[in-house]
Structure 1
Amino acid sequence: MRMKGFGALFLAALAGLIAAGPLHAAPIELVGFGDSLMAGYQLPPDDAFPARLEKALRDKGHDVSISNAGVSGDTTSGGLARIDWSVPDGTKGVILELGANDALRGIPPEESRKNLVAMIEKLKARGIGVLLVGMLAPPNMGGDYADRFNPIYPELAKTYGVPLYPFFLDGVVEDAGLKIEDGMHPNPKGVGVMVERMLPVVETFVQGLPK
């Protein structure tokens, strides 16, 4: 009798699970890895780019979670030094945004390229997807520097077969009303423009990640 009772309870529980449908899958884990532009310099955490992008993706029906691994002042060498521990196991994709501080400091573009290559290769070796976010050299660095720096991102995207968003500050860099008082970093409205422009690229990236 006890076995019959146990069997009945087991079948009832199984039927309940079937009726309830499949268990909810965990969200797709992404990491926004970059500098102050990613970190959300002088902005509330909810207005930082990763948080705003996560909300925009969720509003479009994508079950994602985006960790903010932005560090103000970070260069490509700083990113390379911390990428192993800043991107946890279980991460499906990384939005890789670094290089602005390299250009501002006049770091040789060849060094920046080498560091970006190393980060991409580290992530790919772990089976983590990469969305490369490009930067442009500031005009005051001169034409020779720009000619060496600006092609880094499209060339690496082509070489490694990773998607590219050409310029992180597209739509913001020339509009003072979209930046904070320092004239360099986006304000909340500017972050909104960045998210809106980048969203289609990120959607395609997310849809291509292994579930």
Structure 2
Amino acid sequence: MQIIDSGLGNGFQNLTEGWRRKIAGHLRLAILLLGLLSLVWTNNAYSASKSILVLGDSLSAEYGLARGSGWVALLQQRLKAENIDGSVVNASISGETSSGGKTRLPALLQRRPDIVIIELGGNDALRGLQLSATESNLRAMIGAAQQAKAKVLLVGMRIPPNYGRDYTEKFFSLYATLAKQNKVPLIPFLLDGVADKPELFQADRIHPVAQAHPIMLNNVWTGLKPLLAK
């Protein structure tokens, strides 16, 4: 009986060790597969080609700059550097108002962009236009883009206090209001990190020089990159 018991004990022990080795092997394989799947998912997060429409004014239209040095052109380069398959259409026009953008947007949406970046309203404020009209136009553009199944990134702006503190602050805050109400991401201030540096502006003290545009792109990129991964 002792011999039989000993044999059975050794047999069970050997069987258990065998199963342990098999289980350990399967676990290693599972971990390896999970790692590979994670890597594939990460690479494919940006794999679907994205089309980006930028609807802006002179700050996005390379006013006073050499072609290809504005933040929108730099955005195309950033996409390539990040291995993100995407194309950028710059529909920005110097002097554009929110009313002009609202008028032009329906035709632009026929291109079926995946993402629409709206950078408008600054010229409205510089002309002292009614804030209610600017807000209404921006709201209409956001709604039109969303109805066309595009993601929206709203880019805010600040203006000098020429028209008084009340007007200036209400203008700035309308972007946050629109972003919250329409559930879209917001870049609070396109010129953040630029506006307080006079050397980064052209002689008109309104339009940034080329050296400022990488900073502007970085500001936009913080809100754009998450949209590209969705």
- Alignment TM class, shorter chain as reference: 0.7 to 0.9
Is the counterpart of residue 162 in structure 1 residue 184 in structure 2? yes
Tell me the number of residue pairs that the alignment of Structure 1 and Structure 2 aligns: 184
Structure number with greater Rg is 2
RMSD: 1.5
Is the counterpart of residue 29 in structure 1 residue 59 in structure 2? no
Which of residues 123, 127, 132 is equivalent to 1:105?
Answer: 127
Letter in 2 for 1:196: N
Is the counterpart of residue 48 in structure 1 residue 101 in structure 2? no
Q: Normalising by structure 2, what TM-score?
A: 0.76
Q: Distance in 1 between matches of 2:146 and 2:177?
A: 17
Please list, as runs of the form range in 1=range in 2, the aligned pairs for 1:130-145 lying within 5 A after superposition: 130-145=152-167
Letter in 1 for 2:159: A
Which of residues 62, 66, 80 is equivalent to 1:58?
Answer: 80
2:145 alignment partner, SS class: helix
Letter in 1 for 2:76: E
Q: CA deviation at 1:26?
A: 6.7
Q: Distance in 1 between matches of 2:50 and 2:227?
A: 12
Is the counterpart of residue 180 in structure 1 residue 202 in structure 2? yes
Change beyond 3 A, Cα 1:176–1:88: farther
Q: Is the 8 A contact 2:190 2:219 kept in 1?
A: no
Q: Distance in 2 between matches of 1:41 and 1:137?
A: 18
Q: CA deviation at 1:138?
A: 1.9
Is the counterpart of residue 189 in structure 1 residue 189 in structure 2? no
Could you tell me which runs of 5 or more consecutive residues in structure 1 were left unpaired when the two chains were aligned: 1-24
Identity %: 38
Please list, as runs of the form range in 1=range in 2, the aligned pairs for 1:5-24 lying within 5 A after superposition: none
Q: Is the 8 A contact 1:57 1:64 kept in 2?
A: yes
Q: Is the 8 A contact 1:131 1:162 kept in 2?
A: yes
What's the counterpart of residue 115 of structure 2? 93
Cα deviation, 1:84-134, whole Å, max 9, x if unaligned, reads 113342310011000110110000111100000111111111111100001
Cα deviation, 1:180-208, whole Å, max 9, x if unaligned, reads 22111111111011112332221112112
Q: Distance in 1 between matches of 2:112 and 2:101?
A: 19
Could you tell me which runs of 5 or more consecutive residues in structure 2 were left unpaired when the two chains were aligned: 1-46
Q: Is the 8 A contact 2:96 2:120 kept in 1?
A: yes
What's the counterpart of residue 11 of structure 2? none
Q: Distance in 1 between matches of 2:88 and 2:200?
A: 23
